[in-house]
Structure 1
Amino acid sequence: MKLEKISLLIFCVALCMFSCGNDDDGTTDVEIVIRDRNEQQVIDNNSLIEFLETHYYNSDVFENNANASISDLVILPLATGETVPNGYTLLKDAVGVSRKTTFADTDYEFYVLVLNEGGGDFKPSFADNILTTYQGYTLDDNLNDITDAFDSKTTPDTYFGLIDLIPAWRRVFPMFNVANGYVDNGDGTVNFNNPGMGVMFIPSGLAYFQEARTDLPSYSPLIFKFELIHAIELDHDGDGIPSYLEELSGNQEFNINSEAGVFDGDDTDENSIPNYFDTDDDGDGVSTATEISELFEIKKYNEPTKAALEALTFAANEKLVHIVELANGTFTGTTITAADTDGDGIFDYLDAD
């Protein structure tokens, strides 16, 4: 049984226990029916496409303007019979084709409006900490009024761990670069130069799905406006390998294996600890840090398509271990070169033999 299903089962049991009891005034709590993820994705995607086809934004403000802010963004509904005004662009035209990912055994589509890729030289991974400002809305909210947001962060004073947040954030933020510095205004405030900036339009399955929150119904497709300011690459277990490179299944999630003897997660030695949090990944009694000390190198490659990236020829003992789509539609791949003493195609730090 996969971790997602286990979590869902626990949630359902807890929900049933909670829903079966009455409160003091005799009212009954509303039971949330767990929907099929694939069916809900179709519904959500249709809603997102309809929104993108009926709204436009002030694109001229962001053209070749690294000093624009997310607060400058204006998104307006297209009235019946109205044409998109000059200086504005229909959202559907601006986002282009959908981005695709898989989560919880479901194929999802989501959309990203790229306002600025960011001028810094670092892109966070799905496992990193990010410094960001954001505003979250439903499709029915006024996106130009922050008081309509169900959640927001306007002051960048807290780092967020992406592995602790909704799946969509782990897919979208790695597309963008951080800011390339800041200017001190002399009054206790700063302006960040050229941050990554965009809007994500996401289905409920990559957000909170059946979970209801304050001002947010269950199964809500969402819109997040955001600025990516800074990020910190993490190595959670301190073994010398960045955490994102210890995700083995390529789904930008950390999971234990679904069952004994089935290596479909990120737990090489089956000790129920994913490798990113395990100091001895293969369980051979020699720490991962020791096993990579002799030969270990990380390289990055960029290609216009994922297929072109996968078709590259790499050096001996060099393996492509991580691929991410960038905001501009190209793909970056990360390789690891490490020791493979017995030549069996498995790096020593993952090989208990």
Structure 2
Amino acid sequence: MYSANHQYGRSKQQIKTNMKLRKIAFITLCLVTCFLSCNKDDDGETIEPVPVRDRAEQQVADKAVLLDYLATHYYNSSAFEAIEHPTIKDIVITKLPEGTTTAPDGNTLLKDATNLETISINFADIEYEYYLLKLKQGTGTESPEFADNVLIVHEGRYVSNTVFDSAINPITFDLTGEMPGWGKVFPLFNVSKDFIENTDGTVSFRGQGIGVMFLPSGLAYFASPPFGSTIPQYSPLIYKFELLQTTQNDHDNDGIPSYLEDVDGDGNLFDENTDNDLEINGFTPKFNFVDSDDDGDGILTINEDIDGDGDPTNDIGKNGIPKYLDPEETESKLNK
């Protein structure tokens, strides 16, 4: 199986260099557009746009906020563990009374929880740290990849504990289109083992993955909350969640699961465009995971699966890289 971390020599380096240059150009254009754009208020006065904050500086501030939250809040650990089939409704997080530093009996201060994990990752060239209360791993056999669909229930809160989002009934999300932190967290859990159909027509899942994620704004929405939402910019966010089911995505139906279209292995599909002609329509790159001809050679990626095993990533060409990423390789299984 082809691995995104294999070294392809000079050909891969050329591809990565081209992608990086295109990424820089695209981001620069977006930032310039953002900074140069200005609006007028109802009185016709020009409103200057607010500059985007520095990610590294914001991460330092968010980390301090989240660490303070973990040190001043506890959850009902004993009561939760006593429930045979718990849900996120059974997780209760409470702020310590002023002047106290110890959780009441039967509860656990978040920072002292043995199942609280501190996870460091690199995203957007910044070292981020987020926190994960891993309550139930999930007893199913599958885990999602960062580009898959997930069926979940969730509840979103600010560090003030105000609820801003809640899905009581299961809802499906494409992790590709959600905040970066979701794509980092959900692959760490297994789905539910099974479910039962209730007499009222609803379904109850059993053995689902359950946790609470504490995300800095850089792994949430940062400067760009969803249009129409009430989420302020630069908000650290807290999500209780249950992972119920997952389905694999192949967004462009090219025979390669979308998560394997992450050629440089950074967990970001939006910096992958390996066409030599840049494949720029206006200023919008046609990223690999939504491109059925990843190298722009006129041969569909699915037809560059020369050995016919359903996996184009292991058909390596003369330049040492998969043929579907090499515009010099124009062999098609249709001609065999």
**TM-score of the superposition, structure 2-length normalised?**
0.79
Q: Residue in 2 aligned with 1:352? A: 327
Q: Residue in 2 aligned with 1:106? A: 126
- How do 1:176-325 and structure 2 match up within 5 A? 176-211=189-224, 214-256=229-271, 265-269=272-276, 270-271=278-279, 272-294=285-307, 296=309
Q: How far apart in 1 are the matches of 2:287 and 2:49?
A: 34
1:256-291 per-residue CA deviation (whole Å, 9 max, x = no partner) reads 4xxxxxxxx343543232221122222233222122
Q: Residue in 2 aligned with 1:149? A: 163
1:197-218 per-residue CA deviation (whole Å, 9 max, x = no partner) reads 1111011111122246654322
- Residue identity matched to 2:221: Y
The change in CA–CA distance for 1:341 and 1:210 in structure 2 (over 3 A counts) is: closer
1:130-172 per-residue CA deviation (whole Å, 9 max, x = no partner) reads 111111111012xxxxxx311111111x321111111111111
- Residue identity matched to 1:346: I
Choose 127-136 or 97-106, whichever is displaced more: 97-106
Q: How far apart in 2 are the matches of 1:103 and 1:2?
A: 18
1:265-323 per-residue CA deviation (whole Å, 9 max, x = no partner) reads 3435432322211222222332221222416577xxxxxxxxxxxxxxxxxxxxxxxxx
Q: Is residue 87 of structure 2 the alignment partner of residue 69 of structure 1?
A: yes
User: What is the DSSP-based 3-state SS (H/G/I as helix, E as strand, rest coil) of the residue aligned with 1:255?
Assistant: helix
- How do 1:5-24 and structure 2 match up within 5 A? 5-14=28-37, 17-18=38-39, 21-23=40-42
Structure 1 residue 188: Cα displacement: 1.6
1:100-156 per-residue CA deviation (whole Å, 9 max, x = no partner) reads 222222221111111111122111111111111111111012xxxxxx311111111
Question: Identity across aligned pairs (percent)?
Answer: 42
- Residue identity matched to 2:187: P
- Residue identity matched to 2:327: A
Q: Is residue 108 of structure 2 the alignment partner of residue 86 of structure 1?
A: no
Q: Is residue 151 of structure 2 the alignment partner of residue 131 of structure 1?
A: yes
Higher relative contact order (CA 8 A, sep 6+): 2
Q: How far apart in 1 are the matches of 2:66 and 2:262?
A: 30
- Residue identity matched to 1:125: E
Q: Is residue 314 of structure 2 the alignment partner of residue 338 of structure 1?
A: yes
Answer yes or no: is the 8 Å Cα contact 1:32–1:210 preserved in 2: no
The change in CA–CA distance for 1:276 and 1:215 in structure 2 (over 3 A counts) is: closer
Q: How far apart in 2 are the matches of 1:337 and 1:220?
A: 39
Q: How far apart in 1 are the matches of 2:126 and 2:25?
A: 13
Answer yes or no: is the 8 Å Cα contact 1:118–1:195 preserved in 2: yes
**TM-score of the superposition, structure 1-length normalised?**
0.76
Structure 1 residue 253: Cα displacement: 1.3
Q: Residue in 2 aligned with 1:57? A: 75
Q: How far apart in 2 are the matches of 1:297 and 1:61?
A: 48
The change in CA–CA distance for 1:99 and 1:9 in structure 2 (over 3 A counts) is: farther
1:33-60 per-residue CA deviation (whole Å, 9 max, x = no partner) reads 4211110100000110111111111122
Structure 1 residue 337: Cα displacement: 6.5
Q: How many corresponding residue pairs?
A: 295
Answer yes or no: is the 8 Å Cα contact 1:132–1:159 preserved in 2: yes
**Which has more helix, going by share of residues?**
2
